[in-house]
């Protein structure tokens, strides 16, 4: 599997394009649809996956889904976030029209991609992580030497603590692909996560 990563938009949210057998998945199309189309290249996109519904991860959703005529998946706990225009910075103020397919925890197969979905609320009610071929796409739940904040609309510190405990049970060798900044290895982050006080 080939992974293309590019930080996009005001908050440099990481967008990922995963390619396998000339098909691709797009994770978190946050901004600049032209850049995302360039990342997709000659592959055939088959779906968009959203780690959560915050504006910096979804603002190019309509353009990408319309351009490729593909579905998007988002946990139902974050569907309302797509419409909270008044809470966004001005550059992100636009209504999202795409109707997302609700994600649930468990196994999801889309084309050649086998995805394990973990519901990890805390940063937002509908935050999820995706495990795909040894990579863990964590959105804003965990980062390199940091975890997501919970003091925002739809966030919850207690839920985040439970979600972090869930992630501590996963394989140390998983490569963490976060929603912002650098990738890391889950085993290298576990001590930090265990000692982090929310």
Kindly list the domain boundaries of the chain, sorted by start residue.
2-194
pLDDT higher than threshold 70 for residue 106? yes
Give the model confidence (pLDDT) of 127-184 as tens digits.
999 999 999 999 999 999 999 999 988 999 999 999 999 999 999 999 999 999 999 9
pLDDT of residue 92: 77
* Token pair 């805390």 in the structure block, residue: 122
The answer to whether domain 2-194 has CATH 3.30.43.10 is: no
Do 48 and 72 form a contact (C-beta atoms < 8 A)? yes
pLDDT higher than threshold 90 for residue 89? no
pLDDT of residue 198: 65
86 or 163: which carries more pLDDT confidence? 163
CA atoms within a 13 Å half-sphere pointing along the CA-CB vector of 8: 28
Count of positions (residues) in the chain: 198
> Using CA atoms, how far apart are residues 63 and 59, in angstroms rounded to an integer?
9
- Nearest one of 106, 183, 137, 113 to 27, comparing CA atoms: 137
Q: With cut-offs at 50, 70 and 90, classify the pLDDT of residue 110.
A: very high
Contacts of 18 (CB under 8 A, 6+ apart): 1, 2, 3, 24, 25, 27, 113, 132
């Amino acid at each position: 599997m080939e992974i293309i990563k590019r930080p996009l938009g005001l908050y440099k949210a990481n967008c990922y394009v995963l390619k396998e057998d000339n098909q691709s998945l797009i994770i978190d199309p946050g901004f600049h649809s032209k850049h995302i189309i360039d990342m997709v290249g000659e592959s055939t996109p088959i779906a968009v996956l959203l780690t959560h519904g915050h504006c910096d991860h979804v603002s190019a959703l309509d353009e990408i889904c319309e351009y490729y005529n593909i579905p998007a998946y988002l946990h139902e706990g974050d569907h309302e976030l797509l419409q909270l225009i008044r809470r966004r910075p001005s550059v992100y103020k636009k209504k999202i029209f795409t109707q997302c397919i609700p994600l649930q925890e468990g196994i999801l197969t889309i084309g050649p991609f086998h995805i394990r979905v973990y519901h990890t609320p805390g940063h937002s009610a509908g935050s999820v992580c995706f495990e795909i071929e040894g990579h863990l796409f964590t959105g804003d739940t965990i980062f390199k030497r940091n975890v997501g904040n919970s003091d925002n609309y739809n966030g919850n510190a207690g839920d985040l603590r439970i979600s972090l405990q869930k992630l501590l049970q996963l394989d140390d060798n998983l490569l963490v692909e976060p929603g912002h900044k650098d990738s890391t290895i889950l085993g290298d982050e576990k001590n930090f996560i265990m000692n982090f006080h929310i």
